[in-house]
Structure 1
Amino acid sequence: MTKVLTVADMTLREILRRRAVLVIIAMMPLAFYLSRRGDHLGQSIRFVCLGLGWALSTAALFTGGAARGLEPRLRLSGYRAHQLYLGRLVALWAAGGLLSAPYFLLILVDQDGVSHGAIALIMVLTVAVAAPFGLALSALLPRELEGTLLLLTVVGLQMIMDPADASSRLLPFWFSREIATYAVDHTDTSYLARGLVHGAVCALVLTALVALLSATRLRRRPHLRFVT
């Protein structure tokens, strides 16, 4: 557990070093929220959650890329693969919680007549999904530009696709629409249940994918050469 927390501390320090990026990430959900606040209450809440997901996924993407060169040395120092990816996830989940808190307070003050508990649930699931999603992209696409473009594509599709379409359920943040509908329109609990199941499954699948990709990559020894 100590090594996991050490990796988490290192990851948070790496994130805090990029101050300009932090400011942009922190303001991104606000821009999403204000773009729909005036006339689309449900969409403004859904968009601020998508903004949180996009911001945290981007942070995770760059964090995974930055850690790639350090991981082999940590492995040689006795760190195991699961301690490395769990440490990064803990740091990103903590950062996501800190990022989400002021936006939840904003909705709490600015929006009446909605289920604030359900909105808090959306944010919790968004943080839980976004962190492993960004790390998975960084593992699958080592170059940050390709990962950023794919992330932009996924979030863009999340915004423009019809949420009622079955194919939209393959996107990682589909749950935000279901739970937001329950929170704003006070529909029956089937929306809440579908959103909870979708968000939990996405978080578990993406975390398992990060574990698999990290274990596979760190098992390789490209620096070793066998002499025959």
Structure 2
Amino acid sequence: MNRLVTVAEMTARELLRRRGVLLLLLLMPLTFWLIRRDAYVGQSVRSLLLGVSWAVSTAALFATGAARELEPRLRLAGYRPHHLYLGRMAGLWMAGLVIAAPFLLLTVLDAPELRHGGVAVAMLCCVGVAAPFGMLIGVLLPRELEGTLLLLTVVAVQMLIDPAGSGAKLTPFWSSREIATWAVDHTDDGYLARGVLHGIVVTALLVAAVAAVSSVRLRRRRHLRQLPTG
């Protein structure tokens, strides 16, 4: 447990101490909100949630890439694979909550007619899904350019796809749009239940995928080299 906490603190501290990066991560959700602010409030909330998802996913992508050089030394120090990926994920979740908190306050001050509890749950789903999603992309696509382009593609599809269509449920952040409908339009509780269930299932699947891929990669022990004998 202490090693998980250590990796989580290292990840969160690394992100939060880079103030320029943090400001840029905050700029994306704010821009999404401001662009849609003059339109229907529901559009601004949904855009804001996508902005938070993008920001946390991007932070996870770059944190995963930055940790590649550190991981071999931690493995030599006795850290096991699950210490590294679970600890990093916990740190990213903490950083994601820091990123999301001011935007929840923004909706409270700027849109008092919303169900703000629903907005908070939607942001939790965004952070919960985005951290392992960004990590998974970072593990599968070591080059950050390709990973960033894939994230842009996912966000674009999420913005353009019909949320009522059957294919929308296959997108990672559908839960936030479903919960946002409940929070903005005051619909029945089915929207909230479906959104929460989707967020939990997708988060669990992504965590399992990160665990599987990271375990295989970290157990290869590329940091060890067998010396020739004789």
- TM-score w.r.t. length of structure 1: 0.96
Following TM superposition, by how much is the alpha carbon of 1:78 offset from its aligned partner in structure 2, in angstroms?
Answer: 0.5
Task: Report the Cα distance in structure 1 between the residues aligned to 2:9 and 2:184, rounded to whole angstroms.
Answer: 37
Q: Deviations over 1:170-210 (max 9, x none)?
A: 11001111111111111111111111111111111111111
- Find the counterpart in structure 2 of residue 160 from structure 1: 160
Partner of 2:68: 68
Is residue 205 of structure 1 aligned with residue 205 of structure 2?
yes
Q: Number of residue pairs matched?
A: 228
Q: Matched residues in 2 for 1:9 and 1:109: separation?
A: 31
Query: 1:20: how far off?
Result: 2.1
Offset of residue 15 of structure 1: 1.5
Cross-structure match for 1:224: 225
**In 2, distance between residues paired with 1:92 and 1:54?**
13
CA deviation string 1:30-76 (max 9, x = no partner):
11011111122111111111100000100000000010111111111
Instruction: Give the CA RMSD over aligned residues.
Output: 1.3
2:142 aligned counterpart, secondary structure: coil
Is 1:78 the counterpart of 2:72? The answer is: no
**Separation in structure 1 between the aligned mates of residue 226 and residue 174 of structure 2, nearest angstrom:** 46
1:144 counterpart = 2:144: yes
Q: Amino acid of the residue matched to residue 123 of structure 1?
A: M
Listed as ranges, the matches of 1:10-25 within 5 Å are 10-25=10-25
1:81 offset after TM fit, Å? Answer: 0.7
Deviation at 1:10, TM superposition (A): 1.5
> SS state of the match for residue 164, structure 2?
coil
Write the letter of the residue equivalent to 1:138: G
* Aligned positions of 1:26-41 closer than 5 A: 26-41=26-41
Displacement, 1:112? 2.2
Q: What code does the residue aligned with 2:65 have? A: G
CA displacement at 1:92 relative to structure 2: 0.7
- Sequence identity, in percent? 57
State the AA in 1 paired with 2:27.
M
Which residue pairs with 1:195 in the alignment?
A: 195
Q: 8-17 or 110-119: which moved more?
A: 8-17
Per-residue deviation, 1:164:
1.3
Q: Provide the residue aligned with 1:117 in structure 2.
A: 117
User: Deviations for 1:141-175, whole angstroms, at most 9, x for unmatched residues?
Assistant: 01111000000100110001111121121110011
CA contact (8 A) 2:175 2:196 kept: yes
Distance 2:104 2:14 in 1: 26
Quick check: 2:16–2:95 contact (8 Å CA) kept in 1?
Answer: no
Which residue of structure 1 aligns with residue 176 of structure 2? 176
Rounded Cα–Cα distance in structure 2 between residues aligned with 1:19 and 1:113: 33
The DSSP-based 3-state class of the residue aligned with 1:43 is helix
**Residues 51-109 of structure 1 deviation map (CA, whole Å, 9 limit, x = unaligned):** 00000100000000010111111111100111111111111111111111111111011
Cα drift, residue 227 of structure 1: 4.7
Q: What corresponds to 1:52 in structure 2? A: 52
Unaligned runs of 5+ in 2: none
The separation in 1 between residues aligned to 2:2 and 2:95, in whole angstroms, is 19
Could you tell me how far apart the structure 2 residues matched to 1:8 and 1:192 are? 30
Stretches of structure 1 that go unaligned for 5 or more consecutive residues are none
